[in-house]
Structure 1
Amino acid sequence: METMTEFLSSLGVVIYEDGRRRWPDEVKARVVAETLLPGATVNSVAAKYELRPNHLSEWRRLARDGKLVLPALDDEPSFAPLVLCASERVPAVPEDTMSAERIEIVSGAVLLRLDAATSATRVAEIVRALGAPA
């Protein structure tokens, strides 16, 4: 089993003989990004890396101030369940204009028709912009 020193060294953290550590900005940013994941807390992430929570909070302040650039979070688009139902608020579309080559998104009284070639990433962005739960 890997020790904490080996683990941190593998990340690029320099550990001096007196116990001090020098954290590269990329590693700091990655640790800060972990605190932004759902359910994560500063205390739990700090404990994982054997950091003091106030030290990690300082890194978060640097990120808020734009002095520490965070990596993109793994926010891959995911598929949402599709529910088909009749709705009186959405106008009926004549059969001859219907096409299997379309994606339709209904949000309240809004009906969006997208080309079937629209990427899954773009569809996910549109759904998020409409305020659908993730």
Structure 2
Amino acid sequence: MERSTEFLSDIDMVVGPRGHRRWPDAVKAQIVAETLVEGATVGAVARRYDMRANHLSEWRRMAREGKLVLPAVTEEPKFAALVVRDDVETTPDPEPRSPLDLIFGAVTVRLDAGTSAARIAEIARALNASS
């Protein structure tokens, strides 16, 4: 069975006098990028371009080492499905936290556990200023 490589002429690949092909870096990068698509294999992509898989693996190594710049990914991001279940047990609310005591000399200020840090700082400054 003879393979047709006519489509390769559209990608600026140069065939030398002895049949050796020279691939521009942009074409190499595009072919390597095709191997990174989910579900693609090096072997399948190599067959599509009528080349050996080990040759394509070498280009992949070059890309990992930064010697071949891959094109930007143009695929839209994919999201996982959200599953909402009603049959899951929920944890009970935690027990109420104990109050917070600020002690400054003979003065004790008891604050609710939900008091904001900013409010606690204001009270501490006021206690410090009064001394």
Q: TM-score higher than 0.5 here?
A: yes
- How many pairs does the alignment contain? 89
- TM-score, structure 1 as length reference: 0.55
Q: 1:49 to 1:77 in 2, by over 3 A?
A: same
Deviation at 1:18, TM superposition (A): 1.9
| Structure 1 residue matching 2:5: 3-state secondary structure | helix
Structure 2 counterparts to residues 1-134 of structure 1, below 5 A: 4-77=4-77
AA paired with 2:73?
L
Q: Which runs of 5+ in 1 are unaligned?
A: 90-134
Larger Rg: 2
Alpha-carbon distance in 2 for matches of 1:39, 1:80 = 17
Q: Is the 8 A contact 1:9 1:15 kept in 2?
A: no
Q: Which runs of 5+ in 2 are unaligned?
A: 92-131
| Structure 2 residue matching 1:56: 3-state secondary structure | helix
Q: 1:38 to 1:77 in 2, by over 3 A?
A: closer
Alpha-carbon distance in 1 for matches of 2:73, 2:42 = 17
Q: Is the 8 A contact 1:5 1:15 kept in 2?
A: no
Deviation at 1:74, TM superposition (A): 2.2
Alpha-carbon distance in 1 for matches of 2:79, 2:39 = 21
AA paired with 1:46?
A
- TM-score, structure 2 as length reference: 0.56
AA paired with 1:16?
G
Deviation at 1:55, TM superposition (A): 0.3
Q: 1:81 to 1:60 in 2, by over 3 A?
A: closer
Q: Is the 8 A contact 1:63 1:70 kept in 2?
A: yes
Q: 1:79 to 1:40 in 2, by over 3 A?
A: closer
